[in-house]
Amino acid sequence: MKISILGSTGSIGRQALEVVQKMPGFFEIISLSAGSNVELLKQQIKLVNPQNVSVKSEEDAICLQKEFPKLNVLFGEKGIVDIASDRTNERILVSVSGKTGLKPTLAAIDNNIDVALANKETLVMAGDIVMRKAQEKNVKILPVDSEHGAIHQCLKDRNEVEKLIITASGGPFREKSIDDIKNATVEETLHHPRWNMGKKITIDSATLMNKGLEVIEAHHLFDMPYDKIQVVVHPQSIVHSAVEYVDGSVIAQLGFPSMHIPIQYTLTYPYRFEGIETKSFDFVKAGRLDFLEPDENKFPCLKLAFQAGKEGGTLPVVMNAANEECVFAFLDKKISLWRIFEITKKMMECHENIKNPSIDEIFEVDRITRIRVKELF
């Protein structure tokens, strides 16, 4: 299988390369793309010998080209889009973070390349357009996100579904008071109890905005109305998500927490192979499984996301852009964790929603929102 990995230096990208190495001869890596972590990219180039790479800056691209004269080195937004458009690929893993994922995903779909999609922001920003295009082109969108990977495996006939049940670990502040959350430090917020992920998604997991983004992601991936999507806190992260059918039957997907498994499944789908984490699941070791209602007072971002998703149009674009810029500002210690919610809510309240936006309108709303949000820091 000829594949490319966008965001190969990130948490998902690195784990994807571990999967690739575990299956010698199965994959051929056509291209890799990174942001600024050129040192790690160099190691990856030596390891998997791609034909093309892309980095964020021209300066880094020039240095890389000198070191690897035979490699086709690209850079910037055009570089990543060119890599995603290359029809040599049979499948492409989009595991860049944030808004960077949307353009290459659309480019891959336009070129009839199946997409293993980790980047949830793509569907939050433009889920209607992405899924419609994918259907028109008969391109598969295979969800890497563990919850959606689970639902994908549990879902048979959409018309027989009563509801989708998305589980959430609850993040590091599940048992903390609202005051603790308001005063949380960056270090505390980055300390996720179950998953070791990139910084942006780790902060989103602490505010439960991540779960909100996932609700919108699920709506688009599975064409499911929002009142048929339920979020349940499940601290042990053993049940990755479930589908309830109209007859009351519930099908869930389980396993010990691991991103290798959903990453591998999207890369080998529809086939299954032995993987890095392959060892027999043990219900006894899994032990007690708890399920709780999410606390909307402590985690109001979840409600914002339901609201944005239900209203649709460009409101999710505004929410996503405001949230992402606020997360960067929180990581830079410019604002408190709670301000992420307050600023995002404010930006949503003053937005004049555009229904059925074009892709250009989506990018313009995204751009303007980011400018306005930055004025508040």
Q: Answer yes or no whether residue 56 interacts with ligand NDP by CB under 6 A.
A: yes
CA dist list (Å): 323 to 190, 200, 341: 16, 10, 8
Nearer to Mg ion, 2 or 199 (CB): 199
96 binds ligand NDP (CB under 6 A): yes
With CB under 5 to 8 Å by kind, the binding choice for 13 among ligand NDP, Mg ion, none is ligand NDP
| Least distance to ligand NDP, CB of residue 157, Å | 26
Q: What are phi and psi of 73, to 5 degrees?
A: -105, 125
Q: Which residues, in sequence order, are bridge partners of residue 94? A: 6, 117
- Site size toward Mg ion, by CB under 5 A: 2
Run of H or E including 293 = none
Return the number of the residue (121 or 147) whose C-beta is nearest Mg ion: 147
Tell me which of 118, 154, 224, 321 binds ligand NDP, using CB under 6 A.
118
Report whether 82 contacts 51 (CB < 8 A).
no
Residues 6+ apart with CB under 8 A from 234: 167, 168, 169, 170, 289, 290, 291, 292
Is position 7 an interface residue for ligand NDP (rule: CB under 6 A)? yes
Footprint (CB under 5 A) of Mg ion, residues 141-200? 145, 147
**Pair of tokens at residue 170:** 């609850």
Give CA–CA dist 276/264, Å, rounded: 9
With beta carbons less than 8 A apart as the criterion, state whether 91 and 267 touch.
Answer: yes
Q: Which of 3, 4, 12, 322 is in the footprint of ligand NDP by CB under 6 A?
A: 12
> Could you say whether residue 209 binds ligand NDP (CB under 6 A)?
no
Q: Are 344 and 212 in contact (CB under 8 A)?
A: no
Q: Which is nearer to Mg ion, 52 or 205 (CB)?
A: 205
Residue 271 beta carbon to Mg ion: minimum distance, rounded to whole angstroms = 23
CB contact at 8 A, 30 and 65: no
Give the residue with the Cβ less far from ligand NDP, 254 or 354. 254
Long-range pairs, 54-63, Cβ under 8 A, ≥24: 54/79, 54/80, 54/82, 54/83, 55/79, 60/36, 63/38
The closest residue (CB) to ligand NDP is 10
Stretch that binds ligand NDP, among 43-51, 196-204, 290-298, 352-360 (CB under 6 A): 196-204
Which residues inside 127-146 make contact with ligand NDP, applying CB under 6 A?
145
Nearest residue to 218 (alpha-carbon basis) of 135, 260, 171, 158: 158
Is 305 a binding residue for ligand NDP by CB under 6 A? The answer is: no
Interface with Mg ion, residue 204, by CB under 5 A: no
37 is an interface residue for ligand NDP by CB under 6 A: yes
**Cβ 53 to Mg ion shortest distance, Å:** 28
Q: For the CB of residue 179, give the shortest distance to ligand NDP in the complex, in Å.
A: 28
Q: Which does 198 bind (CB under 5 to 8 A by kind): ligand NDP, Mg ion, none?
A: ligand NDP
Assigned token pair, 360: 């250009």
Nearer to Mg ion, 149 or 275 (CB): 149
Pick 80 or 239: Cβ nearer ligand NDP = 80
Among 10, 127, 172, 212, binds ligand NDP (CB under 6 A): 10
* The residue type at 101: G
Binding mask 94-133 for Mg ion (x = CB under 5 A): ----------------------------------------
Question: With binding defined as CB under 6 A, does residue 36 bind ligand NDP?
Answer: yes
Closest CA to 252 of 142, 164, 161, 159: 164
Q: H/E element holding 240?
A: strand 239-245
- Which ranges of 223-314 would DSSP assign to H, the alpha helix? 260-268, 283-286, 301-311
Residues that bind ligand NDP (CB under 6 A): 7, 9-13, 34-37, 56, 80, 95-97, 100, 118-121, 145, 195, 197-201, 259
Residues that bind Mg ion (CB under 5 A): 145, 147
